Amino acid sequence: MHPHDPQFIAQAAKVLSDPIRLQIIRLLREGKPVGNRTPVCSRNARAVCPEDLKQGLGDISSSKLSYHLKELKEEGFIREIREGKRIYYFLVPERFDQLVESIRKLYRTTT
């Protein structure tokens, strides 16, 4: 699917329309919480582990968090880093830029 295809934009918008996913994005943008006891990712100090996300989201089950992370990852908004048994997540700013640019190009009016 081409980035400027309305279906491409609609799918991205659908993934971003969930309030929990938007909270996850906010937490990932803020990065690893200061003073948190979970190990820091050696390849990306701002990457956040699911335990940190669960703490920031409050009352959310591991399976529900996993589902939302999968949706964001499949759409390219986040990536994961695996270190041993731990998984860390971080934002992909270029994907957000691509979405904004796609919307601009598809819906820009010429005058």
**Bridge partners, 88 (sequence order):** 81
The answer to whether 87 and 81 have CB atoms below 8 angstroms apart is: yes
Average pLDDT, integer, range 93-111? 85
**% residues pLDDT > 70 (the chain):** 94
- Annotate 61-109 with DSSP letters as a single string: -HHHHHHHHHHHHHTTSEEEEEETTEEEEEE-HHHHHHHHHHHHHHHPP
Q: What is the mean pLDDT of the chain?
A: 91
pTM of the shown model: 0.89
Q: What is the DSSP letter of 38?
A: S
Average pLDDT, integer, range 2-14? 83
16 or 32, which is more confident? 16
Is 1 a residue whose pLDDT tops 60?
no
Predicted confidence band at 106 (pLDDT cuts at 50, 70, 90)? Answer: confident
Is 4 a residue whose pLDDT tops 80?
no
Taken in order 91, 97, 15, 21, the sign of the CA dihedral is: positive
Is 40 a residue whose pLDDT tops 80?
yes
Give the per-residue pLDDT at 2. 62
